[in-house]
Structure 1
Amino acid sequence: MSVSSDSTAGDGFEHATEESVEPLSRDKIFHILQTQRRRDALRFLKETGGTVEMRDLAEQVAAWENDTTVQALTSDERQRVYIALYQSHLPKLESEGIIRYNKSRGIVERGPLADQFDPYLDTADESDYEVEMEDGESSDDETPWLRYYRVATAVGIAVVAAAWIGVPPVSFVPNIIWDVLIVASFTALSLAQLLTGDE
């Protein structure tokens, strides 16, 4: 594991001399902590301190998630967690000021707001995060957007198949119209996800 115990000028991050840290609301903290992978990532950063390589972070989170050791992980287990952290969870934590994430160099460190999460990371009963959420959001790692994309894909395949084999009334509409509608549905989903700022 590559861990640097102190931050230097060459660590790939720009550090302000004095950072004004506004406390986060309890709802905001629990919203961030509702996802197990985020909790594990913050826990790892708290335990190691300093700057860590994103690969090391992903491997440890995957090991905890699969109740095994880093050495015993399969490549699928590593890749599944790495991709989720890389594409979704770490950018989300960075955008909130909780971590510093240099994507191009693959390094991560605690940000100015990370200390506010420490008391919750020490909590043994992780079901507390679900109880405290007032908006009824699930703590599953699978986001609702993934389900939306799956439904859109299934509907698109069904429409294309029906048009291809000539099932009325689908076959009465020109194929170009179906193509445009399918592309438009994915475009709308992507824009909605982007505008809501969800992972």
Structure 2
Amino acid sequence: MATTTKQAEEGDVGDGVDTSGSATDFSPNSGDIFDLLSNHRRRYAIHYLKRTDDRVELGDLAEHVAAWELDKDVQAITSTERKRVYTSLQQTHLPTLERAGMIEFDDRAIELTDDAKTLEVYLDVVPGDSIPWGVYYLGLSAVAAVVMGGLWLELIPTGTIPELGWPTLVMALFTVSAVVHVLENRRMRLGEGEQPP
């Protein structure tokens, strides 16, 4: 199952997820997954946990999350930076993930639940100067429709390019676009690659 979400506000408070002590009916399959992933520390925690098969110590998780947040090597993280992230994870984010059924968390060790391990999550991040993939494919389809309509109406010359050359060109454009899209989705998937998306 693939779930997409746009990068959202990344504050530690007011992120739309119930952080009270009460249990919720939150599950990895619910629409609330968007709220869960709206915080970068929870995304980074899930990314790190999906890359490991064993239980993870909270200290190791805090170091990696802090390193990704600050764009530093793990060895360059100060004890103050690590402690700030450690406290935030321990008091807010890991309990939220546990109530959501994403992790099992006791004392200082964390691991993903079986449901969370099989959950495929990727982020569809669209920079301000680019277009979403859906809009791109819609535009490509419009170009293909114009080309095919032009061929049917004999408005497009077929002297220099054979008649089958035009559909082949359109198919090649879709194929290259699909390959780039698949590679981009793989890069933006939580648990893939060294850096979190």
TM interval, shorter chain, is 0.3 to 0.5
For CA contacts below 8 A with separation 6 or more, give which structure has more relative contact order. Answer: 2
TM-score with structure 1 setting the length: 0.47
Could you state the TM-score of these two structures normalised by the residue count of structure 2?
0.47
Q: If each structure's helix is expressed as a fraction of its own residues, which one has the higher value?
A: 1
Could you say which structure has the larger radius of gyration? 2
